[in-house]
Amino acid sequence: MSESALQKIQAKPPVASKAQKAPSMRVIVVDDDPIFRSLAAAKFLHTAREIVEAEDGSVGWYRISTETFHLAVIDLDMPNMGGIDLIRCIRGHPRTAKLPVIVVTSRNPVEAMREVLESGATAFISKPVNWSMFSSHINTLFRLYEEAERGKQAEDALQIATGQYEAEIQQLRGEALALAQSVTVATRAALTNARQAGANDPLLRTLAALQEQAERAQARFGSGKGAGLAALHRLAASASEVK
């Protein structure tokens, strides 16, 4: 950016008009015509949270590259940096590549439209502006933005719910693993005591089977496999048969 452009930013902060209903969108109007900037900003008063004005492409790019906007209205013929170069900067930066851009220009639409659309503009409006058409473009873009925001909110809620579910599963798996470990220790001790007491073969075989099932459940829970719960159920069923 040129030194003169930076001086302009510091000397004259861009005008920001607050919306009465305060929706979530921020809009930047980049045009060297202060009258057009004021008229365009007025169209956003009830649909955008904040409208920022920039008097040329250089100042506009500085604001767009350092702040968050949801829509840019850009003129083509401006000092320091023209509209086409500004759009190319916007499309070439990962953070701003998807920013909707409405081009408003006094150039011949037949000559300008192809270059504008190839540069990556979202919509094209000729000056003098048909303000009904301008409002229509704005409403369409705002509606798309609101739908995208609702989709993002739903996706965020799903991710939160999924994270909570996975955390609960991990907690249950940990509790089940601790239980399987306790049963393994208990059946191992019971088998040792039974052997020392000279227990009969059927009881020893049952205790050995319980120990094997407990160790299998412990191994499955420890590896994170869902089959551990089924093994624990089988272990409980087998334990209930021991007299």
- For residues 47 and 24, give the distance between their C-alpha atoms in angstroms, rounded to a whole number: 9
Helix, strand or coil for residue 95? coil
Task: Please enumerate, as own/partner, the contacts of 220-226 that have beta carbons within 8 Å and a separation of 24 or more.
Answer: 221/173, 221/176, 221/177, 221/180, 222/177, 224/173
pTM for this entry: 0.54
- For residues 188 and 195, give the distance between their C-alpha atoms in angstroms, rounded to a whole number: 11
pLDDT digits (tens, 9 = 90+) for 14-37: 444 443 444 568 899 999 999 999
For the cut 60, the answer to whether the pLDDT of residue 165 exceeds it is yes
Predicted confidence at residue 81, as pLDDT, reads 94
Per-residue tokens: 200: 């009969």
Per-residue tokens: 218: 């412990």
How far, CA to CA in Å, does 172 sit from each of 169, 181, 184, 227, 239?
A: 5, 14, 18, 13, 21
Predicted confidence at residue 123, as pLDDT, reads 84
